[in-house]
Amino acid sequence: MRLWLSGIGISAAGVPDWETAKAIIAGDRDFEASEYRYRAPELLSGAERRRCPASVKLALDVAEQARIMAGLEGTDMAGVFASMTGDGPIVTRSLETLADNPHYLSPTDFHNSVHNAAVGYWAIATGSRHGATSLTAAEESFAAALLKAAMQVLSGDVPVMLCAYEVPFLPPLDVKVGIPVPFGAALVLHGEPPAASLASLDIVLEEGETAPSRPLRDFWSGVFDTNPAARAIPLAEQIALMEPGETPVVRVGAVGSSMLTVTLAR
C-alpha cells in the first residue's frame, strides 16, 4: 500500500511541536528536558476548552499542527485516533468516585470517559462528516491505527488524519498502567500525491520480524519504552532526516503475528 504524507504534528515534554522535534532530531538544537504543559485547543469554543480533558487537549494539539502543515480544512478529512488507555485521569477519578460516593459522579467526567472522546471533539470542532474511528490495540495501537488509516485512505476519496496519543494515569493506577509522561503524534495521509508531499510511505505486513525499530536519538528512549503513542518516533525521525533518493525502512509495530513495515521515500 502506498500513501503520501503532507502534515505531521508532535507533542512531548521539551518538544512542543514538529519544528522543534525536527531541529532536535537533525542535531541543530539541543533537547532541553522540561515539564509537559497541555495547551487548550484553539479550535474549540471557550466552554469546550474548559471541560475537555488532558487526552483531548493533547490529541487536538498534534492534529492541528498536522492539519495546518498540510494546508487542509478539517471538514476535508476523515479521522483515525488511537490510544491504549483513553484518558487516565478521568478513568481514575471516576473509579474513585464510584467507590466512595457514586451519586456524585461528574456528568462532565462521564461524558469524557469514553474512548472516542478525542475523535468526537475533533470531528465536532472541525465539522468533519467523514468517517471517524477510535481504536486501541494495547502497546501496538499506533501500528494498528496506521494500518486502519492506510486502508481507509485508499478505499475512500479524502485524506485521513491519523492521531496517536497517551496521557499518564493518576495514582494508584499509574503503577499498573506505567505511562509516566504524555506523548502525541499526528499524520495527514493521502491516497494520491498531494500538492506538497513530505514523503511517500509504502506499507507492508511482514512475517518473522518481532521487534519494532527503536529511536535513533537516546533522549527519546524513556518515552518510547513507556508510552505506546511514541511508537511513532522512529518514523518521525526518518522523515526528518531523509534525503532525496534515500529509502529508509521503519518497523512500526506488530499487527497480529505480522510486523507493519514502512519504506519511506521523498
Identify the band that residue 228 occupies on the pLDDT scale cut at 50, 70 and 90: very high
Considering the chain, what is the average pLDDT of its residues?
Answer: 93
- In one-letter notation, the amino acid at residue 237 is E
| Mean pLDDT score, 1-15 | 96
Q: Supply the pLDDT for residue 110.
A: 86
Q: Supply the pLDDT for residue 43.
A: 87
Sheet hosting strand 258-265, strand order edge to edge: 132-135, 78-82, 160-166, 183-190, 2-12, 199-207, 258-265, 249-255
Percentage of the chain lying above the pLDDT 70 cut: 100
Q: Supply the pLDDT for residue 209.
A: 73
The Cα–Cα gap between 21 and 96 comes to 37
**Each residue's pLDDT tens digit, 94-124:** 989 999 998 888 888 888 989 999 999 999 9
Q: Supply the pLDDT for residue 178.
A: 83
Is 222 exposed, middle or buried, given 0-12, 13-18 or 19+ CB atoms closer than 10 A? middle
Q: Mark residue 73 as left, alpha or beta (left: phi above 0; alpha: psi -120 to 50; beta: remaining).
A: beta
Residue 5 CA, chain-centre distance (Å), reads 14
- pTM for the whole structure: 0.94
**Residue 40 or 253, more confident:** 253
The Cα–Cα gap between 63 and 177 comes to 25
**Each residue's pLDDT tens digit, 138-184:** 999 999 999 999 999 999 889 999 999 999 988 888 887 889 999 99
Q: Supply the pLDDT for residue 111.
A: 86
Which structural domains are found in the chain, ordered by start?
2-196 (3.40.47.10)
Q: Supply the pLDDT for residue 116.
A: 93
Q: Supply the pLDDT for residue 156.
A: 86
Report residue 224 as a C-alpha cell: 518510547
